[in-house]
Amino acid sequence: MINIKNLHKSFGDNEILKGINLNIKKGETTIIIGPSGSGKTTLLRCLNLLEVPNQGTIRIGDNELEFGGNKEPTDKEILTLRRNTGMVFQGFHLFPHMTVLANIMEGLTTVLKQPKKVAHDKALNLLEKVGLLDKCNSYPHELSGGQQQRVAIARAMAIEPLVLLFDEPTSALDPELAAEVLKVMKELSHDGMTMVVVTHNMSFARDVADNIIFIDNGIILDKGTPDELLNNSTNTRIKQFLSLDFN
């Protein structure tokens, strides 16, 4: 489903990603962990092409782009790859002047050019899936943080992406509201949705991940199953990180 080769990303003289190589299979939930500033979010944003890599190759599904050569990807090629991904941010990023229903319909009607009736019915189905059908005519400011994040998940799912990307989706929420969001994410994982999740929630990683990746200083130090990485890693840096008190 996802193949990343020799991915590099710098901001000025600051090299953030230093040659990432990664394969993710269809239907897998991959959790990315590591200290702040290690490159986790940058990697996620490169997958969505919110940040364009300086070097390397990204393939999602049948679409592959190469960066850093003489031929840079066109806007059309970038848009095609981006449509294969749905992104859920830490800060929800809902349109405040639109109802919940309109937020989900926006991408369907504007980007995918679907008829309003089709978009309307699809949006209602997605709201039912995340348990918020009764909030379809509410505005974001009328919702709790957990509800807003569930709407954001429904919006990301609306374009039927090949993969959902989550950037610390519960870090701005208290434990009770975070549990609402994690419940939806667990259901998506069990349904076979391919997901890549940046999180500090180790209990969620243990419960849901097929694979966990540990990134530090722009490189992948280790990867493996939850048991291999969280319980039996021999890497001193990883053991030190996991000894910290995470939720």
In a domain, 130, yes or no: no
**Sheet holding 55-60: strands in order across?**
14-24, 2-11, 55-60, 63-67
**What are the structure tokens assigned to 244, written together?**
């910290």
| Exposure string over 34-46, b if 16+ CB within 10 A, otherwise e | bbeebbbbbbbbb
In a domain, 169, yes or no: no
pLDDT for residue 42: 96
Secondary structure of residue 68 in the 3-state scheme: coil
Residues of the chain where predicted confidence (pLDDT) is lower than 50: 247
Q: What is the CATH number of the domain that holds 19?
A: 3.40.50.300
In a domain, 226, yes or no: yes
pLDDT for residue 39: 95
In a domain, 76, yes or no: no
In a domain, 205, yes or no: yes
| Structural domain count, the chain | 1
In a domain, 78, yes or no: no
pLDDT tens digits, one per residue of 64-97: 999 997 778 888 888 888 889 999 988 888 999 9
Closest CA to 28 of 212, 172, 156, 227: 212
Range of the domain at 40: 1-45+53-60+174-247
d(CA 15, CA 9): 6
List the alpha helices (DSSP H) in 111-227.
116-129, 145-158, 175-190, 202-208, 226
pLDDT tens digits, one per residue of 8-30: 999 999 999 999 999 999 999 99
In a domain, 109, yes or no: no
In a domain, 97, yes or no: no
pLDDT for residue 245: 57
